[in-house]
Structure 1
Amino acid sequence: MRIRNIERTNILYIVLIDEYEMELPFVPPANVNFKSLDFLKFLPKNLYQLYDPIFYAVSEVNYLNYNPYTVAFYKRSDRELVIKLLEETRQVAVVLIEENRAEDQQLKEIVKELGSKFVYFLNLDHDKDFSGTSCIFDLLSELTQDEEIYKHFNIIHEEPRLYLSTVYQENELKYHTNFLPTKTNFLTYNNYLGNFGSPDEVTDKQLTNIRIKAAKERDSFNRLNLFIDQSKEFDKLFSKLKLFENFEQQRGQLNPIFFCLPFHNPDVADFYTDKSSPIFGKIMEALQVEQSSNYVITVNDIEENQVFYGTGGKLLQERLIFLDSTCFLLASFNLMPYIRLPIKGKSLYSDLSFISPKHFDKFTILKEKLKISDTLGKIGDSISESVLSDEFRTYLAGRNSQIISVTDLPFEWLRIDNIPLSFTHDITRIPETSFNNQIISFAVNSMMDFKISENIISKTLVVLGTDDDEFIKWHSILYEMSEKHNFIVVTCASNDEFLEVLRKHNPDFLIIDTHGGVNKETKETFLHMGSDDLTYEFITANNIVVPLVFLSACGTAPIYGTFNSIANAFLQCGSRSVTSTYLPVEADNATMAYLAILNNLDKVAREGRFKNWLEYICYSNRSTFLHRIYGPILLDEQIDKETKKEYFKLAQDILVFSRRKHVFKAAERLLKSLPTRKANILKPKAYEFLYYTNIGRGDLVLFKKHVEDFEKSNNVSGERALSSKFSAG
């Protein structure tokens, strides 16, 4: 990985934070004033959005190298580092401060005395109720009217710019309907048009009427459906700005769609010592209120328990504001719509409890394995029906794009027309718990750049952490493949050996093949590494950083009954993408899954057909559904030619978004046509593709060959659209 090449005309935003405090996994970090992140929604990420917004928008949409907001988080105690950064930066810098704090005021005075050029201060305390946002408008006026900025960055302009380039009423995407989650889309969309700021805010009376109306329609999807029109306008704008043609495999593909599906983790209760207290149940009830399909909260006995519900409501409001702000940053890598779904909890606990780690031992029995695939479908349907309207499902089913979701829930299991969403769409998650996942994900991906080189296979390390017979029987095949493809295989008998091997080989892609486990006391998952347990604490304490990770082990990221998974540990340390497991996986199937990835990786990296890591890893995973059904059948000498022909056709069709629904239905039909005994053996193997989950931002990890071929075919060079204009001066 290398430091990302930041555009010279990007604006550097510096957010001041307090010392780190003890973090509760279900509470947003208290050391960050998230009003600062909310302010960024009103501001440009690049100067060209103020001076030539259409040029900037066309540039960002058409080139593959992403350009998020440039945000640096600094502790207030690191004042000297902040000053040093401001003295050395080549960019316009905006420091977000709280002027009522003496240390912030002192920093402002020191910087002014130093006479640093193009440094601006934005006071978060200026608009206490955030209704006027006048300090934002003052800053925008300064940025658009400062002739020195034009000259310094060689920005050519024919007439003075305003920070509102289009009348709001004339936009395709008009007002944000006063439903807070849709406001993010409104601001993002208008930022691409060169509109910064917001229309007049709604009055308190209007807000009250809106809430009353929503409560009367609590079980409708009226608010959710507002996102459909917004998302379609994003899609139209993207298509309008898109000039370069995608390759055949990505033909017609839109930018990703970004979801947030908040979830009340049931294990919050473990953080309270006295569960026998009479008020314990009331506290839990207040902390875990759910929203209806129309984002309405209804509680009983509100007068009797007003104190509890008041505190719980305040915490929930802070949590949702935090999620909206961090998701805005995470979505800023591309022009993409953001959808925050209603927060869920207790209504899903019963179904989810069946697949909690305490039941993992049962899943070795065939009868229970058959139950799992049905249960996953039931869970997927329960979530889908509670958060998605028929209209939204229709829209999503037809949207050719990857999906990013901030959630602890298995977004991959949501079903549309009885087909799991992860079969039709590439999906990656950023776990909601713990909350610093989102900040770290943004920081790592905005500061560091990593592309998959053509020789990725030689930078691939497979670590074997167990010598059990069910694993050893595959070793001869694995070592033969390693000689053929030139990847490295090492057996580690302890954590220290594992650490030594990582430091020696410094891999770009790490596969760990071993047993997984759950610590019932800490509720953390771990991996067996010989005689040791490879834990969350060991990974983070030794700052183990590997860009791409695949954990071939049982239940390394369970949905229910855990907090800190081993997969999260790699993400916290800076991994770009970690493939992990929700449930126990059969050793044979799991080994075949990563062998298939290794077998094709060299060819994939050199051909450049796949755009990003998420596309490749999801293709490999969903293809196992076909292989587990057709593989044993194709070994039968009596198999007819038509079945063989169908298999090879489906194996090609699975690459094409518009054909995946047909592929799933065809394979499922064949499975159901088999004798019951044979179908029962194959079914749980086939549905194991749902046991895997990708966390992180694999959508941002590009194949280097794909980027080079894309630039060559479109007759462009460099890292940015119209790069000569961006790099002028």
Structure 2
Amino acid sequence: MEIRRKNITSISYIQVSDYSEFNNSFLPPVEFNNEVIEFLKMVPVDLLQLSDSLEFLELCNRTLNQNGIDFSFFYSHSFTSLIDLLETTPQLTLVFLDSKSEIHKNIFAKFKNSEKIYFHFRNLNDFNLSAKNIVLNYQDFVQLLVERQDSILKALGINNFIINPSVNIIYKNFNPFFYFIPTRNNYFLLNSIIGNFVVSSDESVQEINKKNEAETQKAGKVPNSFERQNSYLSQINNIDFFQMISLKKGLIKLVTNIEPKVSPLILILPFNNPDIKSLYKNNDVIDLIQTEQTENYISNVTTKKTITMAIAGSHIVKERITFLDNVSFLHSSFAFSPVLRLPIQGKSIYRELSFFRSLSFASLSNPLNRKKLRRSILQFGNKLSKKVLSPNLQDTIKERDGQIVAITDLPIEWLTINNIPLIFTHDVCRLPETSLHGLMSIHAINKTFRFSITTETITKTLVILGNNEDPFKFWHDRVYESSIKNGFAVRHCLSLNEVKHFVHLLKPDILIFDCHGGVDDESKTTFLKIGNEILDGKFVIENEIYAPIVFISACGTAPTYGTYNIIANAFFEAGSLSVTSTYIPIAINSGSFLYLRILEKLPFAIKQIIHKNWLEFICHIIRTSTLSETYLNIQKKYKISTDEFVKSNSKALMDSLVFSERRKLYSELDEHIQKLTSDKKLHYSETIPEFLLYSNLGRADLILFKDWETAYIEKNVY
């Protein structure tokens, strides 16, 4: 990994807090219970946006600038580190402080005469002072940048540059303001794209709040419609417009025909985890904070509560949803991504979801039950899509050639559109909603570091074989054979000390675990079993067991029901960027075959410049795992012409690479295979769908293939 390079024109935003670290899994970090991120939504990420915002957007797209908002967080007990950072940061900086804190006042006093460090105080009324670098609000900040640009640019060492924010007349009415609050992320994102940083409203805050309330009351009259959600349609289309017009006009040139055409969609699906009951003894409180929303985002309260309790419950829910909206905006800034927040889900899907709970793992491993997996998953996916997605938005997502970054604890990969699971048609990565503080950590590490897949990555891959049982040993010889051929490392580890030793010694780029997984039902955590020892999150963090990319070939290490502290969270805290894990038990043969395909296909994918990013690659390998298994099964059972078999198999694999072909491929696979076998059996549909059991956690979309990156820059910069 390497530190992301910043432009001298980028703006650094730093929040300082006196709170101590707070790690409750279900509640939003108290440190962010303020308006700091709301402020960030209305200011530029770079001074270049204040000169020509559309040119800045094109520049980011052409140069693969994925830095996003440069937002950092410091606790005031890290005073010395913060002072060092402020003294050495060459960029313009805005620091968010609290006037009630003496430490914060000391920070301000040290830099109050700086030409490139500005301060915004919360509770400013309690702090009677004035200085040239105090910012009152976002409009004041933009105005100060315009008025003091000479001194600011001189301090930054920038010449021949003018700060003059303006909006092209063509886009004056391009971004309507909706009173449906969840759409605000896209409103502010579009403003940043078109350069509308001096936006001001004729309406007061009180008037806007009043209209927000009126809009909610209107929606309450049709609670089961998707009327409000359809507000997203024009916003998503307008954000995508700028990328599509760049492609059509040749301003942006693609490297391959299969890479995504538009930026990832940030999709939020809040879920009331049933395990939240462990935090509260009062059932009334639990009912309130587990309130679901209807299709039209109306809270569905089924029991009568006191007014006081109702207000308290709605306040807790509002804090959580506001935090999710805010953190999703930070994640959207990496690639100017539209944001779609779906209605809160909970009790109404517990029954369908409980089939996959950790306590049912033994039952799910039963061969008879595994044959029902596809049906059970599709039933859940169909119900979920009907509850959270309007028909119009289903059509938009179905046709939108872009990856998906989902913030949710639910298996979003199983959501279906026209009875086809999302993970088959789209590249999906997921950021676990629980624990909530982890969402900020994932943003922070991706904002600070970047990692690319190079020709050396395969030789810097480490496979840890953590089990000696016969079903595992059957595959070990094949793994060692592949390692000799492709150059990756394999270590047989039956103790935690061995894992620690080899991870620290080899410092892998990709770390693969092949072992048993398990769930501690008492602590609601998941773990890996190395020999007879338990590799849990505590050991991972304390001993820095990580790699930029982690792939876990083990059973049920990221269940979606029955746990709230999966081991992937520990890998992220230790420093990983992407962790592929499993929802429920996987078959040893299928799991081993899958990660061997990763190791066999990765060298070819690197050399041939096939995939843009790790998400595209890993989703293709997982998506085609069941497909490949089906073809292997019929090859063993039927006498099929080699030419016909290779032609059919190759076409299916090639079609799976192309977004526009995947829906048709999924629908017609059984028919294609029937032509080879000359029977009516549904070979693909009756194969256990192992591809649905994996979840790619973290921002795998930000991990680029280096050769693809080089080819892209050559096409679009030089």
Query: Smaller-chain TM-score range?
Result: over 0.9
**Alignment of structure 1 residues 314-713 onto 2, 5 Å:** 314-636=315-637, 638-640=639-641, 642=644, 644-669=646-671, 683=685, 685-713=687-715
Q: Could you tell me how far 1:310 is from its partner in structure 2?
A: 1.6
1:624–1:686 contact (8 Å) kept in structure 2: no
Q: Distance in 1 between matches of 2:459 and 2:209?
A: 62
1:50 and 1:381, CA in 2 relative to 1: closer, same or farther beyond 3 A? same
The reply to whether residue 8 of structure 1 matches residue 8 of structure 2 is: yes
Q: Distance in 2 between matches of 1:104 and 1:533?
A: 43
User: Which of 140, 149, 152 is matched with 1:149 structurally?
Assistant: 152
Q: Distance in 1 between matches of 2:677 and 2:258?
A: 38
Q: Distance in 1 between matches of 2:717 and 2:212?
A: 52
| Residue of structure 2 equivalent to 1:215 | 220
What is the DSSP-based 3-state SS (H/G/I as helix, E as strand, rest coil) of the residue aligned with 2:534? strand
Residue 391 of structure 2 aligns with an amino acid whose one-letter code is: D
1:383–1:414 contact (8 Å) kept in structure 2: yes
| Residue of structure 2 equivalent to 1:250 | 258
1:169 and 1:701, CA in 2 relative to 1: closer, same or farther beyond 3 A? closer
1:396 and 1:284, CA in 2 relative to 1: closer, same or farther beyond 3 A? same
What is the DSSP-based 3-state SS (H/G/I as helix, E as strand, rest coil) of the residue aligned with 1:144? helix
Q: Could you tell me how far 1:325 is from its partner in structure 2?
A: 0.8
Q: Distance in 1 between matches of 2:88 and 2:161?
A: 27
Q: Could you tell me how far 1:638 is from its partner in structure 2?
A: 1.9
**Alignment of structure 1 residues 60-139 onto 2, 5 Å:** 60-112=60-112, 115-125=113-123, 135-139=137-141
What is the DSSP-based 3-state SS (H/G/I as helix, E as strand, rest coil) of the residue aligned with 2:333? helix
| Residue of structure 2 equivalent to 1:723 | none
Residue 41 of structure 1 aligns with an amino acid whose one-letter code is: K
Q: Distance in 2 between matches of 1:528 and 1:677?
A: 43
What is the DSSP-based 3-state SS (H/G/I as helix, E as strand, rest coil) of the residue aligned with 1:580? strand
Q: Could you tell me how far 1:306 is from its partner in structure 2?
A: 2.4
Q: Distance in 2 between matches of 1:676 and 1:415?
A: 30
Residue 115 of structure 2 aligns with an amino acid whose one-letter code is: K
2:255–2:711 contact (8 Å) kept in structure 1: no
Residue 701 of structure 1 aligns with an amino acid whose one-letter code is: I
Q: Could you tell me how far 1:154 is from its partner in structure 2?
A: 2.5
Q: Distance in 2 between matches of 1:519 and 1:21?
A: 25
Q: Could you tell me how far 1:652 is from its partner in structure 2?
A: 1.1
1:560 and 1:66, CA in 2 relative to 1: closer, same or farther beyond 3 A? same
TM-score after normalising by structure 1: 0.92
Q: Could you tell me how far 1:486 is from its partner in structure 2?
A: 0.8
Gap runs ≥5 in structure 2: 127-134
Q: Could you tell me how far 1:250 is from its partner in structure 2?
A: 3.2
Q: Distance in 1 between matches of 2:435 and 2:636?
A: 46
Q: Could you tell me how far 1:269 is from its partner in structure 2?
A: 0.8
Q: Could you tell me how far 1:544 is from its partner in structure 2?
A: 2.2
1:513–1:552 contact (8 Å) kept in structure 2: yes
Q: Distance in 2 between matches of 1:676 and 1:30?
A: 63
After superposition, the C-alpha distances for 1:627-653 in whole angstroms (9 at most, x for unaligned) are: 122211123452255454322211111
Q: Distance in 1 between matches of 2:125 and 2:372?
A: 56
1:374 and 1:324, CA in 2 relative to 1: closer, same or farther beyond 3 A? same
Q: Could you tell me how far 1:447 is from its partner in structure 2?
A: 0.4
Q: Distance in 1 between matches of 2:622 and 2:480?
A: 22
What is the DSSP-based 3-state SS (H/G/I as helix, E as strand, rest coil) of the residue aligned with 1:550? strand
Residue 148 of structure 1 aligns with an amino acid whose one-letter code is: S
Worse-superposed segment, 472-481 or 193-202: 193-202
Q: Could you tell me how far 1:139 is from its partner in structure 2?
A: 1.3
Q: Distance in 1 between matches of 2:283 and 2:67?
A: 47
Q: Distance in 1 between matches of 2:378 and 2:343?
A: 20
How much is the aligned-residue C-alpha RMSD, in angstroms? 2.3
Worse-superposed segment, 623-632 or 509-518: 623-632
| Residue of structure 1 equivalent to 2:295 | 293
1:259–1:341 contact (8 Å) kept in structure 2: yes
User: Which of 238, 244, 259 is matched with 2:243 structurally?
Assistant: 238
1:412–1:421 contact (8 Å) kept in structure 2: yes
Percent identity between matched residues is 34
Worse-superposed segment, 554-563 or 569-578: 569-578
The reply to whether residue 268 of structure 1 matches residue 270 of structure 2 is: no
Q: Distance in 2 between matches of 1:325 and 1:155?
A: 35
What is the DSSP-based 3-state SS (H/G/I as helix, E as strand, rest coil) of the residue aligned with 1:253? coil
1:653 and 1:702, CA in 2 relative to 1: closer, same or farther beyond 3 A? same
1:168–1:174 contact (8 Å) kept in structure 2: no
Residue 223 of structure 2 aligns with an amino acid whose one-letter code is: R
What is the DSSP-based 3-state SS (H/G/I as helix, E as strand, rest coil) of the residue aligned with 1:237? helix
Q: Distance in 2 between matches of 1:399 and 1:363?
A: 34
Worse-superposed segment, 603-612 or 634-643: 634-643
After superposition, the C-alpha distances for 1:455-477 in whole angstroms (9 at most, x for unaligned) are: 21100100011001000011111
Worse-superposed segment, 49-58 or 533-542: 49-58
| Residue of structure 1 equivalent to 2:129 | none
Q: Distance in 2 between matches of 1:478 and 1:456?
A: 17
1:689 and 1:354, CA in 2 relative to 1: closer, same or farther beyond 3 A? same
What is the DSSP-based 3-state SS (H/G/I as helix, E as strand, rest coil) of the residue aligned with 2:511? strand
Residue 422 of structure 2 aligns with an amino acid whose one-letter code is: L
After superposition, the C-alpha distances for 1:545-569 in whole angstroms (9 at most, x for unaligned) are: 3100100000010000001111221
The reply to whether residue 161 of structure 1 matches residue 164 of structure 2 is: yes
Q: Distance in 2 between matches of 1:31 and 1:335?
A: 26
Q: Could you tell me how far 1:673 is from its partner in structure 2?
A: 9.0
Residue 136 of structure 1 aligns with an amino acid whose one-letter code is: Y
2:95–2:119 contact (8 Å) kept in structure 1: yes
Residue 699 of structure 1 aligns with an amino acid whose one-letter code is: D
Gap runs ≥5 in structure 1: 275-279, 717-729
Residue 667 of structure 1 aligns with an amino acid whose one-letter code is: L
1:687 and 1:252, CA in 2 relative to 1: closer, same or farther beyond 3 A? closer
Worse-superposed segment, 546-555 or 662-671: 662-671
1:330–1:442 contact (8 Å) kept in structure 2: yes
After superposition, the C-alpha distances for 1:473-521 in whole angstroms (9 at most, x for unaligned) are: 1111111111111111101111111001101111000110001111111
Q: Could you tell me how far 1:23 is from its partner in structure 2?
A: 2.4
Structure 1 consecutive aligned stretches of length 4 or more whose deviation exceeds 4 Å = 166-169, 640-644, 670-686
1:43 and 1:715, CA in 2 relative to 1: closer, same or farther beyond 3 A? closer
2:454–2:707 contact (8 Å) kept in structure 1: yes
Q: Distance in 2 between matches of 1:558 and 1:173?
A: 40
After superposition, the C-alpha distances for 1:371-411 in whole angstroms (9 at most, x for unaligned) are: 22211101111111100011110111000110001100011
Worse-superposed segment, 497-506 or 200-209: 200-209
After superposition, the C-alpha distances for 1:253-308 in whole angstroms (9 at most, x for unaligned) are: 11111111110000011223x5xxxxx32121111001111111132454x43232
**Matched length:** 700
| Residue of structure 2 equivalent to 1:727 | none
Residue 189 of structure 1 aligns with an amino acid whose one-letter code is: L
Q: Distance in 2 between matches of 1:353 and 1:315?
A: 26
What is the DSSP-based 3-state SS (H/G/I as helix, E as strand, rest coil) of the residue aligned with 1:428? strand
1:87–1:116 contact (8 Å) kept in structure 2: no
Q: Distance in 2 between matches of 1:688 and 1:453?
A: 29
Q: Distance in 1 between matches of 2:558 and 2:483?
A: 28
1:353 and 1:674, CA in 2 relative to 1: closer, same or farther beyond 3 A? farther
Residue 122 of structure 1 aligns with an amino acid whose one-letter code is: H
